[in-house]
Amino acid sequence: MSFHMSRRGVLGGLVATGLSGLPGFGRAQASDYPRRPIKIVVPWAAGGGSDTVVRTIAPVLSQRLGQPVIVDNRAGATGTLGSAVVANSPADGYTLLFGSADSQSIAPQVMRKAPYPNSAFVSIGPVGITPLAVMVHGSNPAKTFAQFTQMARDAKPPLFYGSWGIGSSGHIAMEALKDVIKVDMKHVPYLSTAPLMQAQLSREIDCSIIPLLVAEQYAKAGTVRILAINSPERLPGHPDVPLLKDLGIAGLETGLWTGLLAPAGTPPAVIEKLNAALDASIAEPQVAEAMKKMSLVVQHMPSAKYQEFTQAEYDRWGRYIKKARIEID
């Protein structure tokens, strides 16, 4: 009896010291995965855009995986509170993160004390890209992006632009755009996209970069004008609005990425199983149609390619942040 107990102890020690990293072990562990409910942490408040996206996907993903998929909202600290929860969770595939450019590429790089390194996560697969809109008031005399650029260059004193907070993607994207088109504008931060939108409508500010979904209803009513869109592809609902890349604006071709991530160290076979289930889920007609209504550009990518993509996005946003010298406590 003592011999068998000792052997179990040795085997347990081998697993704890790295046997789980061997390819064969990962495949064996993934063969019966998942065996219990999976939790997706959304690091934003319930009812917001990110929450709506995940709750649209979760039931279909649950059917694909054969287990309940639970959405857990952990809002706070620009998405880093919920992200930290996942970073510190077991790497077993049962606690996942709905990550985004704001919470993964930006927040850890603008914060003086980042709660986790980029290496704390492994990418599973994409959900899609949230396009950003360059927006002015509907009464603004500039009808095109070129006209507004010239207006901004000629303005004395400088024009004002708004964002939904210091260190937000809207703030950093506008600073990057300013650098490319060589204009000077002053930043006015607001607490969220709602007061930012009100400031734009009341003409407290001259322009802003804001998620397209937020701007669309106002653009249709004519109260704001969308001059350009930051998206990897043309959008059916806005055939006459140019993309920034069409205007020769290099480096700002992509909007805000969203996708699923897991704690670093999650077995590769589990990641592959999740990637396949996610990819099939967002391809379902009802999900694809819902994503389209939310102005989300759906992406399909293998996990290894997506890992490269999210790392490249981390590096890209990092360059903007360093150049603009943006930092928050």
pLDDT in tens, 254-305: 899 999 999 999 999 999 999 999 999 999 999 999 999 988 999 999 999 9
Query: Can you give the pLDDT at residue 29?
Result: 59
Name the pLDDT band for 253 (thresholds 50, 70, 90): confident
What fold, for 132-247?
D-Maltodextrin-Binding Protein; domain 2 (3.40.190)
For residues 174 and 163, the answer to whether their CB atoms sit within 8 Å is: yes
Residue 125 and residue 235: Cα distance in Å, rounded?
22
In the chain, residues under CATH classification 3.40.190.10 are 132-247
Average pLDDT over residues 298-316: 96
Residue 160 and residue 149: Cα distance in Å, rounded?
13
209-241 exposure pattern, b = at least 16 Cβ within 10 A, e = fewer:
bbbbbbbbebbeeeebbbbbbbbeeebeebeeb
Name the pLDDT band for 180 (thresholds 50, 70, 90): very high
C-beta neighbour count of 294 within 10 angstroms: 16
Global pTM value = 0.87
* pLDDT tops 80 at residue 4: no
Counting residues of the chain whose pLDDT is more than 90, the rounded percentage is 77
Residue 162 and residue 193: Cα distance in Å, rounded?
10
Average pLDDT over residues 153-176: 95
Helix (H, G, I), strand (E, B) or coil at 81: helix
Q: What are residue 89's phi and psi, to 5 degrees?
A: -90, 160
* pLDDT tops 80 at residue 21: no
> 18-129+257-324: what CATH class?
alpha beta
For residues 104 and 121, the answer to whether their CB atoms sit within 8 Å is: yes
